[in-house]
Amino acid sequence: MSLLSAARAALRVYAVGAAVVVAQLLRRRLPGFAEPVFPRQLERVAIVTGGTDGIGYATAKHLARLGMHVIIGGNNEGKAEEAVRKIREETLNDKVEFLYCDLASMRSIQQFVQRFKMKKIPLHVLVNNAGVMMVPQGTTEDGFEEHFGVNYLGHFLLTNLLLDTLRESGAPGCSARVVTVSSATHYVGELNLDDLQSSSSYSAHAAYAQSKLALVLFTYRLQALLEATGSAVTANVADPGVVDTDLYRHVFWGTRLIKKLFGWCLFKTPDEGARTSVYAAVTPALEGRGGCYLYNEKETKSLGVTYDLELQRELWARSCQMTGIADVTQEVF
């Protein structure tokens, strides 16, 4: 990718971020803005990837506070132990635990699923939250570009390997739910089917935006599969907004400076950023409803290309090839 193209990709990403920040400021000033109250979730089990800090930690904490058995999936055992301890203390819920899962490794994802299934417990909510943001060019253990491999392919594989348990756990009127965290950055993303790994050129901004776009396409295809097979499972996308987390450590230094000086008033807190994920996971308003793009606990339109059925199909098929799993959609559609 030329320097000019990379600069354009960066400008598009930062322009979207600025627009979201303005919208967040305006919303905070609206009268009557209050945190929603959700029903208790006793006897329900959730997995939250990236639940050791940031939005994932806040999501895990809120689900635990509602009485859920929460399993945090992450690749930092030290952080995880501290996160589990704090959530247990704050929520008075002892059913919070950690299982190691490195989304940059298909082997690790498979081992995580095996360990989870050995527990012989149901799975009612899967929150695909973990991710990397605008990191320097690198590859996963399996040779995939890091944004595409961690943010998208890792969650694609994880979800597919847990789909049987989700189906067994859901019931009519009490569906299991898959919540996938994307970003407004997907609005400026472009899916290059001829170079999903950004191997011919690289822009951290473009790679990040592509991974978030892929997550939306994946969610819509997954929802179509679930509906076609009559499964009591739904799949929705959660957009947290611009949130003050450590993910910004790799962005342009000027953005880091703005975050340091004004993040407290311009950015959402992790607790605020987690609200839409929690809403998608537990609200009765979404019972039996999937295929939604949710922002600020409301359904909105995603990028037009995300509704392209052929693009959804092609990405799903390519993803199955990359992860080595069967494409079950061929038998359904």
Dump pLDDT digits (tens) for 110-168.
Answer: 999 999 999 999 999 999 999 999 899 999 999 999 999 999 999 999 999 999 999 99
Q: Kindly state whether residue 329 falls inside one of the protein's structural domains.
A: no
Q: Kindly state whether residue 126 falls inside one of the protein's structural domains.
A: yes
- In angstroms, rounded to a whole number, what is the distance separating the alpha carbons of residues 227 and 330? 15
Tens of pLDDT, residues 216-248 = 999 999 999 999 999 999 999 999 998 776 545
125 forms beta bridges with: 46, 177
- In angstroms, rounded to a whole number, what is the distance separating the alpha carbons of residues 147 and 153? 9
Sheet with strand 69-74: strands edge to edge: 96-100, 69-74, 45-49, 125-128, 176-181, 233-239, 293-295, 298-300
What confidence category does residue 1 fall into, taking pLDDT thresholds of 50, 70 and 90? low
pTM above 0.75, yes or no: yes
Residue 260 has pLDDT above 50, yes or no: no
Residue 261 has pLDDT above 80, yes or no: no
Q: Kindly state whether residue 291 falls inside one of the protein's structural domains.
A: yes
Q: Kindly state whether residue 257 falls inside one of the protein's structural domains.
A: yes
Count up the domains in the chain and report the number: 1
Q: Kindly state whether residue 86 falls inside one of the protein's structural domains.
A: yes
Q: Kindly state whether residue 328 falls inside one of the protein's structural domains.
A: no
User: Looking at 57, 152, 208, 248, which residue is catalytic?
Assistant: 208
pLDDT of residue 262: 46
Q: How far is Cα of residue 327 from the mean position of the Cα atoms in its chain?
A: 22
Element (H, E) at 201: none
pLDDT of residue 259: 43
In sign, the C-alpha dihedral spanning 94, 100, 104, 110 is negative
Neighbours of 330 (CB within 10 A): 11
Taking residues 53-70, report their average pLDDT. Answer: 97
Identity of the residue numbered 83? A
Judge whether 208 counts as a catalytic residue. Answer: yes
pLDDT of residue 36: 72
What confidence category does residue 27 fall into, taking pLDDT thresholds of 50, 70 and 90? low
Q: Kindly state whether residue 330 falls inside one of the protein's structural domains.
A: no
Taking residues 89-106, report their average pLDDT. Answer: 98
- In angstroms, rounded to a whole number, what is the distance separating the alpha carbons of residues 67 and 54? 21
Cβ-proximal residues to 16 (8 Å cutoff; 6+ apart), any chain: 184, 185, 187, 188
Q: Domain holding 297: CATH number?
A: 3.40.50.720
Range of the domain at 272: 3-29+37-323
Averaged pLDDT score across all residues of the chain: 88
Neighbours of 167 (CB within 10 A): 16
pLDDT of residue 32: 47
Which residue would you say has higher pLDDT here, 248 or 318? 318
Q: Kindly state whether residue 331 falls inside one of the protein's structural domains.
A: no
